[in-house]
Amino acid sequence: MSTPLLLSPSQLQQLLLSESPTDSATKQVSILDSSWFMPNSPRKANEEFQEKRIPGAQFLDLDEVSSPHELGLQHMIPSERHFADACEEFGIDPTSHVILYDTHGVFSSPRALFMFRAFGHEKSSVLDGGLPRWEAEGFPIEAKPPVRARKSVYPTPVFDKGMIRSYDQMVSNSFTDLHSDSAVELVVDARSRGRFLGTESEPRAGLSSGHIPHSFSLPFTAFLQTRTIPNSSMQYSTFLSLPELRNALVSHVGDHAEAVIQGKRPITTSCGSGMTAGVLWLGLKLLGVQNVALYDESWTGYASRASSKIEKAAN
């Protein structure tokens, strides 16, 4: 039976309660806080994790479990061995069910799920609503110092190269017309509409806003709904229902949506730095889209190169 991409807090609690005792050094369920904040945010993900977390969770630093990049880009997909080494430090083995969450609700955890799935770790899920929803629904929170996991053994996996797009692939695809060839990839951009059109500044100083030619604006927030914690002003995000996800896709890419869902048109997600592109990737996977990739460098890598063609008009 395939592992669900999303779990609710109650489903995770049931999973934890059903976990059978074992003498193995690895846990059957491993929970990772994969929270990440924009560079201009005052919030620090690891500091917040130290203060409060789902019981037994460990902290996955997506900027640390990554590969170096010629442009100095952060959280690029790690090497196969680096990923395996990180899993071993977390006490994860290939049979572990890995649950990923963040403190926004849904923001960076889909990127973490993308990484696990790209390395063939299919037994992995995102906690829909993350830590805020878990706490709002009355499930336990841990505040004592986290306990380090017992190291496991994780064989070097095989990375699915088809799940990632490079700069050269994106440039080549941008020269082609979607209407001329069904093999041309539809590129969807998770940044805000203003950044896509060049009317808003990028959060990274000196970087031009705008978009890749022939790409479509699909802000990651279009796939999410905002919930408010009762008797509080605090909010968090969760994914829309499947019909709502489909409607959101149609409203942003029009007739191309059906071809994407039916597998007749490949699609690639992009964003500012490869993080919220994961939200679009996961939303598309929830819709059953098979042929979906992610541009790892995303806009920061593309716009940092002087040779890149940048458009600012609506498509």
Name the residue with tokens 């049931």.
Answer: 14
Task: Give the residue among 169, 186, 213 at the shortest CA–CA distance from 269.
Answer: 186
DSSP H stretches of helix in 149-209: 167-174, 193-197
Here the tokens at position 5 are 């991409």
Q: Do the beta carbons of residue 299 and residue 270 sit within 8 Å?
A: yes
Task: Give the residue among 105, 106, 74 at the shortest CA–CA distance from 279.
Answer: 106
Instruction: Say how far apart CA 65 and CA 7 lie, in whole Å.
Output: 24
Tell me the C-alpha to C-alpha distance, in Å, between residue 297 and each of 170, 200, 277: 10, 20, 10
SS3 126: strand
Q: Do the beta carbons of residue 260 and residue 284 sit within 8 Å?
A: yes
How far is residue 299 CA from its own chain's centroid?
15
What letter would DSSP give residue 99?
E
Catalytic residues: 271
- List the beta bridge partners of residue 238: 225
Instruction: Say how far apart CA 237 and CA 259 lie, in whole Å.
Output: 28
